[in-house]
Amino acid sequence: MKVMSIEELHQKLVNHEIDVKEYYQELFEEVDFQQKRLNAFVTVTKDEALKNIENLDVKENEILKGIPGVFKDNYNTKGIKTTASSKMLEDYVPVYNATVVDKLYEAGISLIGKSSMDELAMGGTNKSALTGPVFNPWDSSRIAGGSSGGSAALVGSGVVPFALGSDTGDSIRKPAGFCGVVGFKPTWGRISRFGVIPYASSLDHVGAFTRNVRDMAIVTEALAGRDDRDMTSSNLPVPHYLENLTSDIKGMKIAVLTTVSDEIRNKDIKENFEHVIATLKELGAEVGEVTIPQYLARAILPTYTIIANSEATSNHSCLDGIKYGDRQPGSSTDEVMINSRTDGFGAHIKRRFILGNLALATENQERMFRKAQRVRRLIVEELNKIYSEYDIILTPNSGSVAPKLDEANDDRLSDEYIILENHLALGNFAGTPSISIPSGFSDKMPIAVNLMGRVFEEQTVLNAAYALEQALGFANQYSREG
């Protein structure tokens, strides 16, 4: 199967240069091969996709019509299982679509399947999925990252040109970096979250994976816009991201957040990051160095942990086997709920709910949950100080390549881990647009950088990423054989 970008496939469909049925037949052969290699699908929707392309006729302005895509399995899809990779929702079949699902269907995309994720999107390894871990397309002994690991792996393997993910702390951008693709979460409120199974409402973002920035501009524009069913969605008009995309960033002011980059220990990643800075300067950007207080940088992870798990505890209280979720027998309502939640959730989810309940308990709220909210506000204020002088904040995406499956864990306390591996949550604290793009390789594995901008300035972020992508030459990467 020839791997193509959205734009390339669109032009071939418009010009009738490919037989669409043959293309999709080859695509599903590739789906079978990659599923055996990556374990990235929860559900494959072959019949629905083939039905969608019957009598397909694509016009020049129908850029997503006939394009294959994948949805993370926390997006409600009417009549198609939506499990969030949890035993509790193993048999859940929604009766409605998420708003962005409807938008993409209306644009004419063909759903290939639903992708694996960390259970209920709570995790960074994709090892907790009900269907088992997802493997990295560049090296199947390594993780794809999480929680949107299935989507990242499938785009990174070349199966599809785009996939939906969700991002609460770094769940699009970290796996994008690990899998060598572009991962973007726009401003909180730019895209409706109606019909997306939540994790933490004040931090959750809808976003996507593509293999180049131009395709990301296309997908983001299709997803964005006001939705009256999501009261947090913005009324601001949606720009024409692709039409306004430019690689001319002369005079753009870019801040290197050295509080993060100084923690890099990997020699290849350090040299690559320095090369990225030099490249931006050659492109005419004005690059400076900035910091945030070390004590606030160290507070990112604990602040995120308390807020996210408190909100998750509240959001998922309905998964009790009575209102929603797999029901286990019991002699009373309480016993049914206890048995259902005990059986339905993995151990890591239970730990998160225990922490969330502890932080929300009346006697603890002030010194845990409310304190975390105040620290979050202090961190955002530091970011806003930077944005008063700079257009973009630049950081490494991670301090390492994708870890080996048996080495991946979240239980480290060094500043290299506490700060460097958790700083992408800054974009969730502030709700700002944040994109990760491939920037090089280390040990034959992809590495990446992250660019974050002011709220609702997606165009600036996309332009900076596009300019850098063109200069570095890592657009349209994929690995099919590992």
3-class secondary structure per residue, the chain: CCCCCHHHHHHHHHCCCCCHHHHHHHHHHHHHHHHHHHCCEEEECHHHHHHHCCCCCCCCCCCCCCCEEEEECCECECCECCCCCCHHHCCCCCCCCCHHHHHHHHHCCEEEEEECCCHHHCCCCCCCCCCCCCEECCEEEEECCCCCHHHHHHHHCCCCCEEEEEECCCCCHHHHHHHCCEEEECCCCCCCCCCECCCCCCCCEEEEEECCHHHHHHHHHHHCCCCCCCCCCCCCCCCCCCCCCCCCCCCCEEEEEHHHHCCCCCHHHHHHHHHHHHHHHHCCCEEEEECCCHHHHHCHHHHHHHHHHHHHHHHCCCECCCCECCCCCCCCHHHHHHHHHHHHCCHHHHHHHHHHHHHHCCCCCHHHHHHHHHHHHHHHHHHHHHHCCCCEEEEECCCCCCCECCCCCCCCCCHHHHHHCCHHHHHHHHCCCEEEEEEEEECCEEEEEEEEECCCCHHHHHHHHHHHHHHHCCCCCCCCCC
3-class secondary structure per residue, 330-360: CCCHHHHHHHHHHHHCCHHHHHHHHHHHHHH
Give the angle 204-110-156 at the CA atoms, nearest 5°. 60
Backbone angles phi, psi at 239, to 5 degrees: -65, 165
> What would the two tokens of residue 147 be?
């929680």
Task: Using alpha carbons, select from 24, 86, 89 the residue that is nearest to residue 52.
Answer: 24
Question: Between β-strands 205-210 and 253-257, what pairing exists: parallel, antiparallel or unpaired?
Answer: unpaired
Catalytic residues: 72, 147, 171
Buried b (16+ CB within 10 A) or exposed e, 153-162: bbbbbbbbbb
| Beta bridge partners of residue 448, listed in sequence order | 438
